[in-house]
Homo-oligomer: A and B are copies of this chain.
Amino acid sequence: MNRLYHVPLSPFCRYVRLVMAEKKLEVELLEERYWERRSEFLRRNPAGKVPVLAMNGFTLADSVAICEYLEETHPEPPLMPKKIPERAEARRLVMWFADKFHLEVTANLLYERVNKKITGRGHPDSANVKAGAKHIKYHLDYMGWLLDHRRWLSGDRMTLADFIAAAHLSSLDYIRDVDWNRQPSVKDWYAKIKSRPAFRSILADQVSGFPQPPHYADLDF
């Protein structure tokens, strides 16, 4: 059985969960309090971070590396384009969310509001929350611009870029930090991806101390 060491609201863990579900790969989810730095966990991933995937006798770390691995070992349904320049565009956007969106938005909102509390590191820093709330507007606008020109974020087909973007937005949606009225094309795109069976596990997540808001699992949000 495949095993994923994760935390429920981590967008990077959700990225792996979504891609595995889309590819119909079963996985046992094991919650890992990575901030406690268990020595057995650190042996699996010296970076000390989730997600870590135990699969086919290998231990895989880093969500970007894991999802490329899943795509190479389980190419159906394809979540990367066939043409090389289109693959570069999908990867550019994967890295956009793994790097820029993560640092400008997710770290400022989710990590301040949720991770600090869960890991016992005090209260949210309001300057960071304010910066995150400002940045998410620009990111939603950029996604809106892309989706006004393309069916999916990186082109005509759904790719890994859509799943990493949806993973980040789903975690932020859980704490009510996404203004779905800002960009109609982003809302339409999220409604499409949220309706996929692959999303079910994520919509069922419940995090102690952070009750799920009513719209979160509603497909007509």
| A contact set with B: CB distance below 8 Å | 46-47, 49, 56, 58, 60-62, 64-66, 68-69, 72-73, 84-85, 87-88, 91-92, 94-96, 98-100, 142
Q: List 29 A-B contacts (CB under 8 A).
A: A46-B142, A47-B96, A47-B100, A56-B85, A58-B88, A60-B88, A60-B92, A61-B92, A62-B91, A62-B92, A62-B96, A62-B99, A64-B64, A64-B91, A64-B95, A65-B88, A65-B91, A65-B92, A65-B94, A66-B88, A68-B88, A68-B91, A69-B84, A69-B85, A69-B88, A69-B91, A72-B84, A72-B87, A98-B99
Q: Which 10 A-B pairs have the closest CB atoms?
A: A65-B91, A69-B88, A62-B95, A65-B92, A62-B92, A72-B84, A58-B85, A65-B88, A61-B92, A64-B95
> Which residues of B sit under 8 angstroms from A46, Cβ to Cβ?
142
Q: How far is the CA of A72 from the CA of B86 in the complex (A)?
A: 12
* A66 CB contacts on chain B under 8 angstroms: 88
Residues on B with beta carbons closer than 8 Å to the beta carbon of A58: 85, 88
- Are A69 and B87 in touch, CB under 8 angstroms? yes
Instruction: Give the complex CA separation of A40 and B199 in angstroms.
Output: 38
Contacts of A61 in B (CB 8 A): 92
Give Cα A77–Cα B84 distance, bound, in whole angstroms. Answer: 18
Chain B hits for A56, CB < 8 A: 85
Q: Which of A68, A73, A88, A100 has the most CB of B within 10 A?
A: A88
Q: A98 to chain B: which residues have CB within 8 Å?
A: 99
